[in-house]
Amino acid sequence: MIKFYHNPRCSKSRQGLDLLENTGKDFEVIKYLEESPSKEELQKIIGYLGIAPEALVRKNEAIWKEKFRGKSLSDEEILNALVQYPKLIERPIVINGNKAVIGRPVENINKII
Annotated active-site positions, please?
10
Residue 81 belongs to what H/E stretch? helix 75-84
CA atoms within 13 A on the CB side of 91: 26
The Cα 2–Cα 4 span in angstroms is 7
DSSP-derived letter for residue 35 is S
- Helix or strand run (H / E) with residue 65: helix 62-67
CA–CA separation, 16 and 109 (whole Å)? 7
8 A C-beta contact, residue 4 and residue 17: yes
